[in-house]
Amino acid sequence: MLDSMAMIDAKTATLIDKMLAGDRLALARLITRVENRSGPVAEIMRRVHGRTGRAYILGITGPPGAGKSTVVDRLTALLRAEGASVGIVAVDPSSPFSGGAVLGDRIRMQSHTLDPEVFIRSMATRGSLGGLARATSDVIKLLDAFGKQWILVETVGVGQTELDIIKQADTTVVILVPESGDAIQTMKAGLMEVADILVVNKADREGANPLMSELRFMAHLQGSSPQAPKDIDWEIPVLATEAQNDVGIAELLAEIRRHRGLLEASGALEKRRQARRRAELQALLLEEFTAEVRRRLGADGDLAATFEAVADGRKDPYSAVEEILKGRAP
């Protein structure tokens, strides 16, 4: 249940104040509380809400081994060279034993770990669809409130279930490798739905050119289809990179900026963010309603009798739902 009526404790209030003042350790501790859903999470998010909405959120996704972390590393280097402050959320596979991240943020992007203007955090998927932990949205907001100008969200590549990254990102980059060719057929719809930019990384390998040709054809079909949802005049670009050798990364950042510019100039960026906030509210309501029903279904819950009446056939489920929603049950 939401801790809507709970008073925030002095320690948490101090952590929030320190985080908003630029304390990295306070930020790390608040992220841990939010990720673990421990303490007054709702109150934490309420208190930082007014400082959010300023960062640009870039989603990076793709199959395992595509070089996503290397691309993130190289993009971060370019952004830092321009003086931008960067936050990175690396979503890792969950450990089946602890629910924690198998890969730690110390393993990733090692060249940036000592940079005070870069904050890196690994999160576990915890089995959620699409590879994003339920708390990822809140962690992004904390990084935003902390003052990060760019937030890069890298998700574990598990294929088409990665679609929910679009709920978090302003611009989404899908990274593939030449070996992805055989998998493209089963990923077509998902790729075109989630991608704002397509990248073929490790483009020096055999098969890169045929894959890029196929992707460009798919992108053109998507762009010319009257059924394709469009909020800006944008045909998905297909880029070649060799992230390990720092080849094509500047061009990728230029395309990201071009996409951002179109979104901002057209007003589509704010509309996308409004849609994201609506979806977040809906998800939170469903989550809370579900938790409330489960609580009321307990042995001492007021809905137990209603459920027993339906189970015994004494009451039809439609009448029961109507009564519950109107507050007449049991």
pLDDT digits (tens), the chain, 330 positions: 554 445 678 889 999 999 999 999 999 999 999 888 777 889 999 999 999 999 999 999 888 788 898 999 999 999 999 999 999 998 866 544 444 554 544 455 667 878 999 999 988 765 554 446 568 889 999 999 999 999 999 886 654 445 666 678 999 999 999 987 555 655 555 667 788 999 999 999 998 999 899 889 888 887 777 766 678 889 999 999 999 999 999 999 999 999 999 999 999 999 999 998 998 888 888 888 888 888 887 767 778 888 889 999 999 999 988 888 887 555
Best CA proximity match to 126, nearest among 168, 98, 152, 164: 98
Tokens of 323: 């009564």
Side-chain half-sphere of 50: how many Cα atoms within 13 Å? 4
pTM, whole model, 2 decimals?
A: 0.86
- Predicted pLDDT of residue 96: 46
Could you tell me which residues come within 8 angstroms of residue 34 by beta carbon, excluding any fewer than 6 positions away? Answer: 41, 44, 45, 135, 138, 139, 142
Tokens of 195: 């991608």
d(CA 127, CA 111): 30
What is the rounded (10 degree) CA torsion for 40, 45, 50, 52? 150
Q: How many CB atoms lie within 10 A of CB 51?
A: 15
- Predicted pLDDT of residue 97: 44
Element (H, E) at 94: none
Q: DSSP character for 104?
A: -
Between CA 289 and CA 299, with CA 295 as vertex, the angle to 5 degrees is 150
* Per-domain residue ranges of the chain: 1-50, 52-266, 280-325
Using the Cα atoms of residue 27, residue 29, residue 32 and residue 38 in order, give the sign of their dihedral: negative
- Predicted pLDDT of residue 155: 83
Alpha helix ranges (H) inside 21-135: 24-36, 41-48, 68-81
d(CA 264, CA 215): 26
- Predicted pLDDT of residue 328: 55
- Predicted pLDDT of residue 112: 82
Between CA 67 and CA 77, with CA 29 as vertex, the angle to 5 degrees is 30
Contact assessment for residue 32 and residue 101, using Cβ atoms and an 8 Å cutoff = no
Contact assessment for residue 248 and residue 242, using Cβ atoms and an 8 Å cutoff = yes
Pick the CATH number of 52-266 from 3.10.580.10, 3.40.50.300, 3.40.920.10, 3.30.70.2740: 3.40.50.300
- Predicted pLDDT of residue 172: 92
Residue type at position 279? A
